Structure 1
Amino acid sequence: MGDREGLRQRKSNGHSDVISISDEGKKLDQKLDQHASYEFGGPWGVFAIMTGFPILMYYLWICLWFYDGQLVYPTSLDDVQPFFWRMWAHIREDASPNMYAWKVYSGNIFFQLFLAWVMPGYMQEGLPVPSLGYKTLMYNCNALTSLYATMGTAAALHYTGIFRLTEIIDNYGHLMSVAMIWGFGVSFGMYFVAVATGTQMRMSGNFVYDVFMGASLNPRIGPIDLKMWAEVRIPWVIVFFLSVSGACKQYETLGYVTPNMAFMCLATWFYINACAKGEECIPQTWDMYHEKWGFMVIFWNLAGVPFSYVYSVVYMASHDSSKYKFSTPTYIALYTTLCTAYYIWDTAMAQKSHFKMQTQGIYEFRKTFPQLPGNTVKNPTYIQTAHGNRLLTSGWWAWSRKPNYVADWIMSLTWGLVIGTATPIPYFYSVFFITVLVHRCGRDFERCAIKYGKDWERYCEVVPYKFIPYVY
């Protein structure tokens, strides 16, 4: 594990001194809170992402739904124009933003806002925000009660026949189009609101780039932090209910739910329940602390995640189960891998967040289901930086700088493996996700190197592996 020199340990009584940011650390924070260089290829790069990704989402859905999961393309130069007309015909007819999609998607948006406003929750203090003069914001963490209120409401509507859950997966294309419209609308709307209210920060001066990266850091409606609300309440709720819808459709057509579809229901419930039960950990993350609320985050939460992560569910709901039937040992291996990766991901996230809370003087943590053993490191070791922050080097974080990313990616891979070799499209999630994680790590490590200087070098010596221990 490298040289332990420079590591400091919490006091034996279980409490540590609350961290304070040094004057030099504040200067570095001020530097990091300004636009210094373009990311993602600059204005042209983000323009390509904003236009290309929705097109890719449509293309993969069309291949999955209408072409047996095979990647289709023009077979000759003469076929190019007819090919694009066929693609457009599918979008126009089968992915039009119809009234059903508007009612269901928008209804969920407003219902989740209502629940976020009224449901009881757990008040959590966030990290000091440099752009707010190191003020800490309070977050009402009621995603868990909101989730179960949503599940109860959906079950009641389904069994009374008012709203059948099977209809969700059948209207996938229409819902995806409405989600994209919401994603673009909120992204541009939030940019103009931030500029109009003077709350913009870290701006580049290029319109397209600033819409993509975002203008405001902590937009709120009353007690609701929109960035955290959108990260938890929208994408994973939709992902979960798409899986449930697929299971309901299988049950109605086959009379049973396949182990593969049940796997996706479990996997998506793991994710949404973990995000909800550990919502108080989210204010301690870079997403809340540093990332602005722009197209990159908004579109991804409102449209990208829910309609590009569960291609396996879409395939299973529209194809015969014999195409992806496995042996019993394979199912055991698949479920075991999912549960193991989930355990590491859940406890690694909790260890890091609880450690950050301890540095703020918070030692009593929220108890929600399921509380997994090992979610808090006792007597953690860490590197005290000159900046004032502390870098955890205990628990899962002694083995990798991003153990949560490794486990998260393995879970994403199982979402494709559940289909086997029937179609390559469900593997899009894991391929895209690893690209995002590697890029994000580069951004994060570069920022840490600037922020912590030699202390970061010491940390890298103690925790040398970026992802997989002894590999990379």
Structure 2
Amino acid sequence: MSASSTAVANGTLHQRHTASKPEFTVTDEGRKTDQKLDEHLSYEFGGPWGVAAMMTGFPMLMYYLWICLWFYDGQIVYPTSVADILPFLERMWGHVRDDASPNLYAWKVYTGLIVYQLFLAWIMPGYMQEGLPVPSLGYKTLMYNCNALYCIYTTMATAAALHYYHIFRLTEIIDNYGHIMSVAMIYGFAVSFGMYFWTVARGEQMRMSGNFLYDVFMGAALNPRIGTIDLKMWAEVRIPWVIVFFLAVSGACKQYEQYGTVTPNMAFMVLATWFYLNACGKGEECIPQTWDMFHEKWGFMVIFWNFAGVPFTYVYSVVYMASHDPSKYEFSTPGYIALYTTLCTAYYIWDTSMSQKSRFKMQTAGNYQVRWTFPQLPWGTVENPEFIQTAHGNRLLTSGWWRFSRKPNYVADWTQSFTWGLVVGTASPIPYFYSVFFITVLVHRTTRDFERCAVKYGKDWDRYCEVVRWKFIPYVY
């Protein structure tokens, strides 16, 4: 028996040396299961009525929370009587009409970002990463040009130069938040509907329900591309997290101009958003291994969220701090130490757990190579990983962080989101929207994922759940 690997029956633990040959092969049983999973079997998100409610309700919620933050001291406002409902709605509409109109300036700023990010993605050199075999493409693998890191830091250098020479002051981003948000929403709707019609016209749609609105929401295309640019991966990294980071930088610049200093709270948000943006760039080769790339279609659910939802709901703490006196949310020194320590610890677990799983998939496929991008953290790769070999042909990792929890990355990711609200303390409840909304999304996504895995792996999934008992937090849940 080889010292580097142990061959035992399906559904039991295996140990494999990282240098051994790839052994991933989809079995006939696996192909039948994949074909079933690649069909529309049932409605999600409440079906057509549920997605219609989300497509109309969420943009209105975004406007409402921004208005509360910017114009009502960060407090939740509402009509106090039946007679006040109409005047209240008129006030809300007045803020949207006057302070969030999609004016020409906002169109220039947002469109400029989109065009520049597409241009950089087209010309920048990158690391070519092979994705996972896609069942709907006959198990063909797609190549991804991972050049986000070059694009991100070129964007940073460009923004710094524009700010320094007073061509485009970074404070203008936060000052025009409402206007730019409206343009982002229009882009979200336009790209979603446009991509649906384009895909259907080309006959490339898949897993369709037959209900127009539901199919626009879930998407019709799986891997839309412009040349070498995979639009789904491009939009996941280059738009939301770039905007999130520059909103934090804009808030810091505005604070510096007003008070001559940047508070530890605002500096925290610059660091936190840089963590996320840089992680997306430095580990971009891991993204093709994720469910988002492999299975999720590019529809309104993903498109609107990337173009408008993420950048304009995740950093409410920045919006609050940019418009309020620092004395409202100051912490003690021990408080700041605890806040920064929690963020860094959660980031470390999130970064390394994501890296472990993605690199394990690349090891299994035989296309893993070390990509030296900053920062490469200890324990980012599991050596001699243990796993469960499934009858489907896939392997389920049971080493590293994935030995203790089925979703360690979700726990760490949510903890980071909570600190993004905690940074303003009790000054306003609205910055906590991110963490409240996010945990709802993660629980729902986990349910979808586990249901799919139960169908895909059958008894092997039961065995996996016996080995990795805890869904989220070890010994808790």
After TM superposition, the score normalised by the length of structure 2 is: 0.97
1:282 corresponds in structure 2 to 287
Which runs of at least 4 in structure 1 moved beyond 6 Å after TM superposition? none
Distance 1:172 1:470 in 2: 43
1:91-141 deviation per Cα after TM superposition (whole angstroms, max 9, x unaligned): 000000011110000100010000000001100000000000000000000
**C-alpha displacement of 1:5:** 7.8
**What SS does the aligned partner of 1:345 have?**
helix
Q: Give, in angstroms, the shift of residue 17 of structure 1.
A: 3.0
Residue 400 of structure 1 aligns to a residue in which SS? coil
Task: Say which of 176, 179, 183 aligns to 1:178.
Answer: 183
Measured in 2, the distance between the counterparts of 1:373 and 1:201 equals: 40
Q: Which amino acid in structure 1 is aligned with residue 246 of structure 2? A: F
- 1:209-248 alignment, distance < 5 Å: 209-248=214-253
CA distance in 2, matches of 1:471, 1:117: 46
CA contact (8 A) 1:127 1:283 kept: yes
Q: Distance in 2 between matches of 1:363 and 1:407?
A: 25
Give SS of 2:129's match. strand
Distance in 1 separating the partners of 2:360 and 2:94 = 53
Q: For the residues of structure 2 that align with 1:88 and 1:172, how far apart are their CA atoms? A: 16
The number of residues matched between the two structures is 468
Asked if the contact 2:130–2:367 (Cα under 8 Å) also holds between the matched residues in 1, the reply is: no
SS in 2 for 1:268: helix
- Tell whether the 8 Å contact from 1:117 to 1:224 is kept in structure 2 after alignment: yes
Q: CA deviation at 1:364?
A: 1.8
| Contact 1:10 1:16 survives alignment (8 Å) | no
The CA deviation string for residues 199-232 of structure 1, in whole angstroms up to 9 with x for no partner, is 1000000000000000010000010000000000
User: Counterpart amino acid of 1:35?
Assistant: H
Residue identity (%):
80
* Selected match of 2:352 from 342, 347, 352: 347
Indicate the residue corresponding to 1:463 in structure 2: 468
1:8 aligns with 2:43: no
Quick check: 1:198 aligned with 2:203?
yes
2:131 paired with 1:136: no
Q: How does 1:350-389 map to 2 (within 5 A)?
A: 350-389=355-394
Contact 1:18 1:358 in 2 (8 A): no
Structure 1 CA distance, aligned partners of 2:88 and 2:250? 31
Deviation at 1:6, TM superposition (A): 1.1
Question: What does the per-residue CA deviation read over 1:37-69, in whole Å, with 9 as the maximum and x for residues that have no partner?
Answer: 000000000000000000000000000000001
Distance in 2 between residues matched to 1:108 and 1:63, nearest whole Å: 27
Distance 2:129 2:390 in 1: 25
Unaligned runs of 5+ in 1: none
Cα RMSD (Å): 0.9
Report the CA distance between 1:15 and its aligned residue. Answer: 1.8
Contact 1:338 1:411 in 2 (8 A): yes
Q: Distance in 1 between matches of 2:327 and 2:20?
A: 57
Q: Distance in 2 between matches of 1:123 and 1:328?
A: 45
Matched residue, 2:3 = none
1: CA distance, partners of 2:22 / 2:466: 25
Q: Distance in 2 between matches of 1:198 and 1:363?
A: 34
Q: Offset at 1:16?
A: 4.1
2:265 aligned with 1:251: no
Distance 2:39 2:48 in 1: 17
Question: Which of 87, 103, 124 lines up with 2:108 in the alignment?
Answer: 103
Counterpart amino acid of 1:8?
Answer: H
Aligned-partner SS, 1:442: helix
Deviation string 1:413-448 (CA, Å, 9 cap, x unpaired) is 000000000000000000000000000000000000
1:112 to 113, 117, 136: 117
CA distance in 2, matches of 1:465, 1:294: 32
User: Which structure 2 residue ranges, 5 or more long, are not aligned?
Assistant: 1-9
Q: Which residue matches 1:59?
A: 64
CA distance in 1, matches of 2:460, 2:88: 56
Q: 1:362, CA displacement in angstroms? A: 2.1
Q: How much has 1:18 moved relative to structure 2?
A: 2.8
Matches within 5 A, 1:283-432: 283-432=288-437
Question: What is the CA–CA distance in structure 2 between the aligned matches of 1:172 and 1:58, rounded to whole Å?
Answer: 11
Once the two structures are TM-superposed, the CA of residue 353 in structure 1 deviates from its matched residue by 0.4
Alpha-carbon distance between aligned partners in 1 of 2:459 and 2:21, rounded to the nearest angstrom: 23
Tell me how far apart the structure 2 counterparts of residues 349 and 366 of structure 1 sit (CA, whole Å). Answer: 15
Work out the CA distance in 2 between the residues paired with 1:204 and 1:102: 34
Asked if the contact 2:11/2:388 (under 8 Å) is kept, the reply is no
Q: Is the 8 A contact 2:244 2:315 kept in 1?
A: yes
Separation of aligned partners in 2, 1:363 and 1:214? 31
| TM-score in terms of structure 1 length | 0.98
